Amino acid sequence: MDPAAENPSTTRFREYLRIRSVQPEPDYDGIVHFLFRMADEIGLEKKKLEFAPGRAIVILTWRGTQPQLKSIILNSHTDVVPVFEEFWTYPPFDAHKDKDGKIYARGTQDMKSVTIQYLEAIRQMKSEGRRFPRTIHLTMVPDEEIGGHTGMEIFVDQPEFRALNPGITLDEGLANPKNEFSVFYGEKCVWWITVHCKGDPGHGSRFIENSAAAKLHSVITSFLDFREKEKKRFESNPNFTLGDVTTVNLTKVSGGVSCNVIPSEMSATFDLRIPPTVDLKEFELRIENWCRAAGDQVTYEYHQKCMNRRITTPEDSNPWWKAFSDPCKELGLKLKPEIFPAATDSRYIRTAGFDALGFSPMNNTPILLHDHNEYLNEDVFLHGIQIYTRIIGSLASVPPLPEEQSH
């Protein structure tokens, strides 16, 4: 294909994909340079913040005609996960486009496509001379792929974030292999827990009572029995998504010193993802009971324990949801509201008390985030820009809300 004939939005997308913002050493300077250039081209205010050394947060702003109103935040993360090049058909940072229009690169789905779709939608609306009451901020944050602790988690606690006066934030979602578009109105609570079991040591030839291993066996059985029940519940209801059930996985077992010595201590680590519909205090009690039932000297510690169950109500009574979903209906898009099965930066935004929706406009597309040969079809990418022009325009036009009229 003649490169000159390529859609300029696609060309910019492929250029962005070639910036190696890959963990553990992302090229954030390259990212900032590219985004600032886009801001200058489109005519947006630009700002760079750093709350952790070398971890740049970029904010691009399109002022509204009523800047005192709550703003629309379009969030995306700039880092991508590592690659195993030997498993890729094309080099993962070449942004190769095949004859079917599939663009292969790390970050095509997660989530450089969305960053460029935001920018291109705004480019289009600005070129048409459109203006909106509400200010639109694009926030591009680092390190989401390693937990967001040096990115969004710090950012939401800063006065600079509050100064954005957030109304609704859009953030990443997932591709949908069917014709529907997934939209995420909440996230599961991530709990990582290690259970430590202490017991009597002894020689490997004897039946030692009160052993650490017996206690660990009891704990593991309790966790995995519950996992099996949730799995059955998931499989028995065709309407359920992963976001509707609690996933439990044993991720680490440790202990022991020698083949013939019964150890005095063993431990197991579990990764739990709990829907916001679950009573978390009650669930905590359940874990406590499993540990107590295993015997004495059984303790546990949390490495991560999200207790925030805040969701963004996916109903027309919520003006943000209505402004998001109405243009989708007009475009004939079938939305599938879901709870996000893993974790994104939206959890920090919701914990800070603000509404957020996760949405990546990719339907009829296999979910390939973090996978080898991650790709996005050019037509799906370009269609997403048109979807965003409608959604962003609608959100930025939401009339003053009751709490805004009192000011």
403 pLDDT more than 60: yes
Instruction: Write down the pLDDT at residue 325.
Output: 98
Residue closest to 274 by CA, chosen among 339, 185, 228, 224: 339
User: In percent, how much of the chain has pLDDT > 90?
Assistant: 96
Instruction: Kindly tell me if the per-residue pLDDT of 253 is higher than 90.
Output: yes
58 vs 29, 36, 122, 220, CA distance in Å?
11, 8, 16, 44
pLDDT in tens, 273-300: 999 999 999 999 999 999 999 999 999 9
Q: Is the pLDDT of residue 405 over 90?
A: no
38 and 112 Cβ atoms separated by less than 8 Å: no
Among 376, 380, 378, 389, CA closest to 8: 378
Q: Which of 393, 383, 391 is CA-nearest to residue 325?
A: 391
Q: At what angle do helices 8-17 and 112-127 cross, to 10 degrees?
A: 150
- Residues β-bridged to residue 203: 261
Per-residue confidence band for 171, with pLDDT thresholds at 50, 70 and 90: very high
Q: Is the pLDDT of residue 1 over 60?
A: no
For position 130, what pLDDT does the model report? 97
Please give the pLDDT value at position 266.
98
Specify burial of residue 145 (Cβ count, 10 A radius: 0-12, 13-18, 19+).
buried
pLDDT at 404 over 60: yes
Evaluate if residue 406 carries a pLDDT over 90. Answer: no
d(CA 255, CA 265): 6
CA distance 289 to 304: 20
Q: Catalytic: 371? A: no
Residue-wise pLDDT tens digits, 175-230: 999 999 999 999 999 999 999 999 999 999 999 999 999 999 999 999 999 999 99
Task: Please report the pLDDT score of residue 56 as a whole number.
Answer: 98
More confident residue, 407 or 6: 6
CA-to-CA distance for 398 and 321, rounded, in angstroms? 11
pLDDT score of 335: 96
pLDDT at 3 over 80: no
* 212, 266 Cβ separation under 8 angstroms: yes
From 79, 143, 187, 378, active-site residue? 79
> What are the beta bridge partners of residue 160?
none
Confidence check: pLDDT of 2 > 70: no
Give the distance from CA 142 to its chain's centroid.
13
Per the omega criterion (within 30 degrees of 0), is the bond before 152 cis? Answer: no
Ordered by where they begin, the domains of the chain are 3-173+344-405 (3.40.630.10), 189-305 (3.30.70.360)
Query: Tens of pLDDT along 47-70?
Result: 999 999 999 999 999 999 999 999
Among candidate residues 120, 143, 144, 378, the one labeled active-site is: 144
Where helices occur in 101-211 by DSSP H, the ranges are 112-127, 152-155, 159-162
Q: Is the pLDDT of residue 89 over 60?
A: yes
**Contact call for residues 201 and 106 (beta carbons, < 8 A):** no
Looking at residue 342, its pLDDT comes to: 86
pLDDT for the residue 5: 87
List, for residues 98-145, the tens digit of each pLDDT value.
999 999 999 999 999 999 999 999 999 999 999 999 999 999 999 999
Q: So what's the pLDDT on residue 84?
A: 96
Rounded CA separation 275/237 (Å) = 16
- DSSP-derived secondary structure letter, 400: P
Which long-range contacts does 118-122 make (Cβ < 8 Å, 24+ apart)? 118/74, 118/76, 118/388, 118/392, 119/12, 119/38, 119/42, 119/60, 120/9, 120/12, 120/385, 120/388, 121/385, 121/386, 121/388, 121/389, 121/392, 122/42, 122/44, 122/62, 122/392
- Residue closest to 392 by CA, chosen among 138, 92, 89: 138
Mean pLDDT of 78-95: 97
Q: Is 244 among the catalytic positions?
A: no
| 243 has pLDDT over 80 | yes
Residue % of the chain over a pLDDT of 70: 99
